[in-house]
Amino acid sequence: MENIELLLEQINELIQKGEISALRELLTELNVVDIAQIIEEIEQSDRLPVFRVLPKDISAEVFAYLETDTQAELVRMINDAELERLLDEMFLDDTVDFLEEVPANVVTRVLAHSAPEARKLINRFLKYPEDCAGSIMTIEMVQLHTSFTAAQAIEQIRKTGVDKETVYTCYCTDRERHLLGSIPLLSLLLCDENELVGDIMEDDAQLISVNTLDDREEVADIVKKYDLLSVPVVDNENRLVGIITVDDIVDVIEEETTEDFEKMASLAPSDNEYLKTGVFRLAKNRIPWLLILMISGTFTGKIVEGYETLLSGFVALTASMPMLMGTSGNAGQQISTLMIRGLAVGEIELRDYFRVVFKELRVAAICGLVLGIANIGRMYLFCDGTLDVYFVVSLAMFFAVIVAKLIGCSLPILAKLIRLDPALMAGPLISTLLDMITLSIYFALAKVFLL
């Protein structure tokens, strides 16, 4: 799709000339993701005609890949019959995803034109809490009876498979829909055709499933750990209610990571793309933490005020404040980031805390020593002042780095312990805290050695 510009030109030309069948032919040769991208990029007024040109099975797939605004726009413009056909072709999880984002009047219209059965399901899906397995699952899965033979199972897949989100892992249930096992399509193909599904399925310890209310991040961890293509979702009675496929898991991983990035930068997490978010909304996401951190700067100010006479006596002391605060903040940010990421991907666990602290003590001692020595050289070359001041700055830096590393590795773990997101304990928060501690150490040392 490097030639999307070229394609767009071709398509615009066909639209202008009204060559509908040539347009349809061109479009149906493309991947649905690319068709969606093209619809996003053409003139707004051309979107509906182009969308209508598509065969209906393709148009439902394309619709799922459109951005929410475009989806809402198209739904507003198509007629009732078209809407019903579209909803009929779409996977339920795509419909739910779309409904979760669009304005209420669009939701009402869509629900009014869904089949009664589908409406009931959609309403149930919309009720699942946003971050749980139920909200991202789909019900289009292959269910097999344990009493089927492999040949019967394949026959069932042949008959119903085209409407399923994936057929590559099938799920085996009893009459009451209790999940009993899973079976990869490959196993069905490879085994003797008279073997029973119940005999070849993966069950007991090999069967991996999640609950509708499990956090979607936990589901992602399971799919990653076991390299699954899909995972079955069960209710509290172990009845199969849906599946989650790996492509949705990839999206979950991306969204959760973005949320971590936002929290680490002291931003209120937002589901919307930056470019599509309004200026006031963006400001609103940023101001709370900036305010809190600014106000806590009062304490740092008080510390500085308390050492007024000391500071006015040694200008090099004041001049080194920014560098010291910066270094301790950077040192703290390095380790807190490592901890947050390590906790997120499961490389570090709560029980590792003391190992981490012991390790950081040693790493900090090395870092502090190197930086302290380098600082004496730096000040000797570039700064005014006497050797005793250089010494105080370096000593303060040594201790500040040690405190920074200890706090930087402790706070994320502490957050996890009290069930807060470790990502909150990142850069800005830690820097502000370290500003206070670093200056207190600094001035205390200065008082001892210089006065």
Q: Is 206 in the site for a copy of itself (CB under 8 A)?
A: yes
Q: Which is nearer to a copy of itself, 336 or 410 (CB)?
A: 336
Contact set for a copy of itself, span 217-236 (CB under 8 A)? 223-227, 229
DSSP category for residue 350: G
Site string for a copy of itself, 389-408 (x = CB under 8 A): --------x---x-------
Shortest CA distance to 66 belongs to which of 101, 31, 93, 37? 37
We find the least distance from the C-beta atom of residue 436 to a copy of itself, in angstroms, to be: 8
Residue found under tokens 């509908």: 20
Q: Kindly indicate which of the ranges 49-57, 117-125, 172-180, 311-319 contains the residues binding a copy of itself, using the contact rule CB under 8 A.
A: 311-319
Torsion angle in degrees (nearest 10) through CA of 39, 45, 46, 47: 30
Q: Is 273 in the site for a copy of itself (CB under 8 A)?
A: yes
Angle at 62 between CA 56 and CA 68, to 5 degrees: 125
Q: Which is nearer to a copy of itself, 58 or 126 (CB)?
A: 58
We find the least distance from the C-beta atom of residue 164 to a copy of itself, in angstroms, to be: 9
* Rounded Cα–Cα distance for residues 391 and 375 (Å): 9
Q: Is 357 in the site for a copy of itself (CB under 8 A)?
A: no
Of positions 135, 300, 410, 440, contacts a copy of itself by CB under 8 A: 300
Of positions 196, 246, 420, 450, contacts a copy of itself by CB under 8 A: 246
Q: Is 410 in the site for a copy of itself (CB under 8 A)?
A: no
* Rounded Cα–Cα distance for residues 331 and 353 (Å): 18
For residues 364 and 338, is the Cβ–Cβ distance under 8 A? no
Q: Which is nearer to a copy of itself, 82 or 259 (CB)?
A: 259
Q: Is 154 in the site for a copy of itself (CB under 8 A)?
A: yes
Of positions 104, 162, 418, 451, contacts a copy of itself by CB under 8 A: 162
Q: Kindly indicate which of the ranges 14-22, 84-92, 100-108, 246-254 contains the residues binding a copy of itself, using the contact rule CB under 8 A.
A: 246-254
Q: Which is nearer to a copy of itself, 244 or 331 (CB)?
A: 331
Of positions 20, 338, 357, 450, contacts a copy of itself by CB under 8 A: 338
For residues 281 and 417, is the Cβ–Cβ distance under 8 A? no
Instruction: Write the DSSP assignment of 118-135 as a string of letters.
Output: HHHHHHHHHHS-TTBHHH
* Cβ-defined contacts of 394-398 (< 8 Å, 24+): 395/445, 395/449, 396/324, 396/438, 396/441, 396/442, 396/445, 396/446, 397/324, 397/327, 397/328, 397/368, 397/371, 397/372, 398/368, 398/369, 398/371, 398/372
Q: Is 355 in the site for a copy of itself (CB under 8 A)?
A: yes
Name 426's Cβ contacts closer than 8 Å, sequence gap at least 6.
263, 264, 265, 266, 333, 336, 337, 340, 412
Half-sphere exposure of 51 (CA within 13 A, CB side): 30
Q: Is 447 in the site for a copy of itself (CB under 8 A)?
A: no
Q: Is 321 in the site for a copy of itself (CB under 8 A)?
A: yes
We find the least distance from the C-beta atom of residue 90 to a copy of itself, in angstroms, to be: 15
Strands (E), 179-261: 179-184, 210-211, 230-234, 240-245
Q: Is 213 in the site for a copy of itself (CB under 8 A)?
A: no
Position 416, amino acid = K
Name 386's Cβ contacts closer than 8 Å, sequence gap at least 6.
none
Site string for a copy of itself, 118-137 (x = CB under 8 A): --------------------
Of positions 382, 418, 419, 451, contacts a copy of itself by CB under 8 A: 382
For residues 417 and 430, is the Cβ–Cβ distance under 8 A? no
* Total residues in contact with a copy of itself, by rule CB under 8 A: 116
Name 67's Cβ contacts closer than 8 Å, sequence gap at least 6.
40
Of positions 78, 151, 208, 450, contacts a copy of itself by CB under 8 A: 208
* Rounded Cα–Cα distance for residues 445 and 424 (Å): 31
Q: Which is nearer to a copy of itself, 109 or 224 (CB)?
A: 224
Q: Is 97 in the site for a copy of itself (CB under 8 A)?
A: no
Contact set for a copy of itself, span 5-24 (CB under 8 A)? none
Residue found under tokens 């019900």: 139
H or E element that contains 172: strand 169-173
Name 204's Cβ contacts closer than 8 Å, sequence gap at least 6.
none
Q: Which is nearer to a copy of itself, 246 or 420 (CB)?
A: 246
Q: Is 386 in the site for a copy of itself (CB under 8 A)?
A: no
Of positions 308, 418, 419, 451, contacts a copy of itself by CB under 8 A: 308
* Rounded Cα–Cα distance for residues 422 and 310 (Å): 38
Q: Which is nearer to a copy of itself, 48 or 436 (CB)?
A: 436
Q: Kindly indicate which of the ranges 78-86, 111-119, 171-179, 291-299 contains the residues binding a copy of itself, using the contact rule CB under 8 A.
A: 291-299
Q: Kindly indicate which of the ranges 45-53, 113-121, 210-218, 366-374 contains the residues binding a copy of itself, using the contact rule CB under 8 A.
A: 366-374
